[in-house]
Structure 1
Amino acid sequence: MMNLSMMLRPAIAGAFMMTAAAAQAGENGESPFGALVPGEGAEETYVHCAACHSEMLVAQQGLTRERWADLIEWMVDEQGMNPIEEPDYTLVLDYLAEHYNTDRPNFPRN
């Protein structure tokens, strides 16, 4: 089984990098949140997650609410991510659990 460190290695390697496509998305009429599906909490999720890695890394995951919470805690404790304060924390966690859960309803197909 792959450990959390191995799962996030691509995110760590790409820390502080944002793609040109994500930066230009709002200008082209696309979602300003890149690969993230629209919904309550999408903006907060994009702001907190894309600060260190591509939003595509988020969109490719399929985790339970508890695993998302554990992953956020790990990023804060081990990777130096700034803690997400309320009410953003609940918005982000609710958004991730709804849109990127184990059934992966919004897994990017392209």
Structure 2
Amino acid sequence: MELPDLSLLDHIHYSFDDKRIYCSELIFKAVKTVTGRQLGKVERLGDLNWEPHEAFIRSIEGIIPKDREMITPQALSAAKELTLVYTKDPTAKRAGAK
């Protein structure tokens, strides 16, 4: 079992490969490596709300890579594989709550 190299951590291009790893990708790949299970849903940039960030994306990419796959912090935190065990938010759904 080989976990991602932490010296490759944190890049802004969000490419889903092992050359560089961004924060959510590190968690996603570590969980998958250890458990063999996928945590959360991998999404395409084009399926996300990228338009408000178009100028920034173009400044680092040149083009909008709408087909780029990524795992976002939101996708990780909303993963059905996770159970909320503690929160200070009284409106949050608790583990086992219906």
Q: TM-score, normalised by structure 1?
A: 0.26
Larger helix percent: 1
- Larger gyration radius, structure 1 or structure 2: 2
Larger relative contact order (Cα-Cα within 8 Å, sequence gap ≥ 6)? 1
